[in-house]
Amino acid sequence: MSRDTEVVEIAVLDDYQGVALEMADWSVLDGSARVVVFRDHIADERALIERLRPFDVVCVMRERTPLRRAVIESLPRLKMIASTGPRNSSIDATAAGERGIVVTSTGYFSEPAVELTWTLIHALARNVVAEVNSVRTGGWQRSVGVDLAGRVLGVLGLGNIGSRVAAVGTAFGMKVIAWSENLTRDRAEQAGAELVSKELLFRQSDVLTVHLILSRRTRGLVGRDELALMKPDARLVNTSRGPIVDESALIECLTKHRIGGAAIDAFDVEPLPADHPFRTLDNVVATPHVGYVSQNLYRTFYGDTVANIAKWLDSPR
């Protein structure tokens, strides 16, 4: 499609903070495209289809809005899906390919996720939320925090993010153990961790942090049996993907105080329903999937998205 054709309609979805237009130079598309930004999230598929019917290009932020086959096949004008991140399992790439729809991705770096993981670990260990709330309501010290030095950090998935989380754990004087299905002893040692069995990972960890890609193999990997192995004062951290942890099993475990607590940044349903137990349980620190929400990464996401659209507009069709 060349720049002398009719104006291309572009939808930018789920811009929760209202910053999409500030994070990149969208002016390079002026004269060729009109950009409409939506800050709200639509979960209902029919309503989503109705919203997206007028658009040629749909920009999605990670997995906030799934574009399944039923949606893609109901959008006759759709020619391009511009997704952020290197992969997006919530897009039916097969359905898009069958209709000749271009699907693009962007650059990514893991530092924001690593940093948030450690923010949540510290928040759990030192009861930060409860102590902050105490100060805000006129109170003072309420609890005695847990030392991390000398404790065991369990890393479930020692890939790009998990290995960096492990390195920080070592710097804090923690013993680091790890397991994943394909993890080797050499790879674990290179990351400063000890390879253990899955059972020992759950039994020995004082803090267990999840860093796996969501797949058929990992969905529900942390279930009732695994949670039952954990120490009564152990903490679970999930900044990866919600469905890796069996949500109902974790809610039951936390409600009965079978483990020390959990910090969660990714959920089965997002945005999290208003009446969800994770919003009220006193042993949960819940953040709204902000592991990748940082200024530099957003600039990469939206900057690459604009570049991808500009390249597509200039390509022959």
Cis peptide before 271 (omega within 30 of 0): yes
Q: What letter represents residue 175's amino acid?
A: K
Active site residue 270: yes
DSSP E strands in the chain: the ranges are 8-12, 33-37, 57-60, 80-83, 102-104, 152-156, 175-179, 194-195, 207-210, 235-238, 261-264, 284-286
Active site residue 289: yes
The upper half-sphere exposure of residue 135, i.e. CA atoms within 13 Å in the direction of its Cβ, equals: 5
Cα separation of 154 and 152, whole Å?
6
Catalytic residue of the set 51, 164, 211, 289: 289
- Reported as type and span, the H/E element at residue 160 is helix 160-171
**How much of the chain is in helix, strand and coil states, percent to nearest 5?**
35, 15, 50
Cα separation of 260 and 210, whole Å?
16
Active site residue 276: no
Q: Are 97 and 74 spatial neighbours (Cβ–Cβ below 8 Å)?
A: no
The upper half-sphere exposure of residue 58, i.e. CA atoms within 13 Å in the direction of its Cβ, equals: 27
Task: Return the residue matching tokens 């290179």.
Answer: 190
Backbone angles phi and psi of 285, in degrees to 5: -110, 110
Catalytic residue of the set 122, 270, 276, 299: 270
Q: What is the dihedral of CA 172, 177, 181, 185, to 10 degrees?
A: 110
Catalytic residue of the set 62, 235, 241, 247: 241
Cα separation of 317 and 303, whole Å?
23
Look at residue 101 and give its three-state secondary structure: coil
Q: Give the relative orientation of helices 111-125 and 128-136 as an angle to the nearest 10 degrees.
A: 70
**Enzyme catalytic residues:** 241, 270, 289
